[in-house]
Amino acid sequence: MSIRIPILLAAVFSMAAFTTGAIAQNVAPRMPEPASFEDADYPLSALAAHEEGRVGLDLSISPSGIISDARIATSSGSDALDRAAIRIAKGRWRFAPAQQDGRAVASNAQVEANWSLPLTPATQNYLEVPDSMGASPARPNGAYEARYSDYPPAAAAGRAQGVVGLRYQVDAAGNVTDAAIVESSGNSRFDNSALRIARNRTFAPATRNGMPVSVWQGLTVSYSILPANATNAPPPCYAAPILAHDAVLVGTTPYRVEVWFDSAKYRTRWETRPVTNWIGTWVQVSDAGEPTNVLLYTEGGWMVPSETISRRLTAARDYPSGRGGCWYYDPVSILG
């Protein structure tokens, strides 16, 4: 499914005022094909941040109909969407140029376009937590920044991966006072690390009727080796995705350190380091290893992306065959 987003166009010409005599032939610039944004145009960073909005552009159009310059007149509220709009306008949109007395001339045009998220809310069940009785959720004080020590060294050395589902209690002061495992990763090192991460975070407290209150919330902590081809071991197979409205990714990537001595290689070792700028996805595969369902984590919760976005997220992935129905946790880079 692709979304075509309508464009509202108003031409403002960068030439002398048009005459109205019968001889003059003055024609405004126009787009032979409707201008649009496709699903594939959507920046992954904007998807992860759950950003959408209307952007206004001032366009400079050459006599050949090419957009020679594009500037933001009205921001969408998202830097990523604004940058993408300028790139798409200059790279793809074309005009039939303005005409003055039968001659193509340079002109300006003002364009407004909507970015609409190609996502729908996931219907899968989330982790069960005690009823918050209508309180607004507690909000983390900033995104969690994974540390080197968060990925258990023994697990990293063994190329182990896993996802932990837990619930935690945030008191009226925004402190975590309790945490418990709801879905184990099957690896006690990951489970214990996830509990430490949950307990070390701080929050803006939940509120009810304007007053801070204590609430329970759900969290997933995912341990992944990135990129996917950094390890030959397949990721764990889950019968169902582990979902929570709050998620933390602890990613590591192997890298080789080579020390040279007298022009000869002295030592090579493999280590891990924290990885940032990734977003979480759950991917279900067929028995042939082909993706059949994809879920994407955003600041709006877990979402089902359009087919175009799903293909984009899984295009470079190679899932094992013979494990039909498996769900894999598979983070994707949002760089670029």
Q: Is the pLDDT reported for residue 9 higher than 60?
A: no
Cβ atoms within 10 Å of 6's Cβ, excluding its own: 12
What is residue 146's predicted lDDT score, i.e. its pLDDT? 83
The pLDDT tens digits for 10-53 are 444 444 333 334 444 688 998 877 777 999 999 999 999 999 99
Among 88, 117, 146, give the residue marking a domain's end: 117
Of the listed ranges 8-17, 83-92, 149-158, 228-237, the one predicted with least confidence: 8-17
What is residue 223's predicted lDDT score, i.e. its pLDDT? 93
Structural domain total, the chain: 2
**Quick check: is 1 in a domain?**
no
Contact 272, 151 (CB under 8 A): yes
62 and 208, same domain (yes or no)? no
Q: What is the 3-state secondary structure (H, E, C) of the chain?
A: CCCCCCEEEEEECCCCCCCCCCCCCEECCECCCCCCCCHHHCCHHHHHCCCCEEEEEEEEECCCCEEEEEEEEECCCCHHHHHHHHHHHHHCCECECEEECCEEECEEEEEEEEECCCEEECCCCCCCCCCCCCCCCCEECCCCCCCHHHCCHHHHHCCCCEEEEEEEEECCCCEEEEEEEEECCCCHHHHHHHHHHHHHCEEECEEECCEEECEEEEEEEEEEECCHHHCCCCCCCECCCCCCCCEEEEEEEEEEEEEEECCEEEEEEEEEEEECCEECEEEEECCCCCEEEEEEEECCEEEEECHHHHHHHHCCCCCCCCCCCCEEECCEECCC
96 and 143, same domain (yes or no)? no
pTM (predicted TM-score):
0.82
Residue carrying the six token digits 């007395």: 101
Name, of 53-62, 142-151, 230-239, the range with top average pLDDT.
53-62
Average pLDDT over residues 265-278: 64
92 and 226, same domain (yes or no)? no
15 and 35, same domain (yes or no)? yes
Question: 334: pLDDT confidence band, cut at 50, 70 and 90?
Answer: confident
49 and 160, same domain (yes or no)? no
**Quick check: is 27 in a domain?**
yes
What is residue 258's predicted lDDT score, i.e. its pLDDT? 60
The residue with greater pLDDT, 59 or 267, is: 59
304 and 183, same domain (yes or no)? yes
Q: What is the mean pLDDT of the chain?
A: 86
The pLDDT tens digits for 69-79 are 999 999 999 99
Domain residues for 150?
A: 121-333
Distance CA 201, CA 93 (A): 46
Looking at the DSSP assignment, which residues form a beta bridge with residue 180?
A: 167
Q: Is the pLDDT reported for residue 251 higher than 50?
A: yes
Question: 88: pLDDT confidence band, cut at 50, 70 and 90?
Answer: very high
**Quick check: is 311 in a domain?**
yes
Q: What is the CATH number of the domain that holds 97?
A: 3.30.2420.10
**Quick check: is 2 in a domain?**
no
What is residue 14's predicted lDDT score, i.e. its pLDDT? 42
Among 65, 89, 117, give the residue marking a domain's end: 117
What is residue 159's predicted lDDT score, i.e. its pLDDT? 84
Average pLDDT over residues 55-64: 95
75 and 158, same domain (yes or no)? no
What is residue 31's predicted lDDT score, i.e. its pLDDT? 81
Average pLDDT over residues 193-221: 96
Question: 318: pLDDT confidence band, cut at 50, 70 and 90?
Answer: confident
Question: 282: pLDDT confidence band, cut at 50, 70 and 90?
Answer: very high
Q: Is the pLDDT reported for residue 5 higher than 70?
A: no
Average pLDDT over residues 163-168: 97
What is residue 154's predicted lDDT score, i.e. its pLDDT? 87
255 and 126, same domain (yes or no)? yes
86 and 186, same domain (yes or no)? no
Average pLDDT over residues 307-322: 91
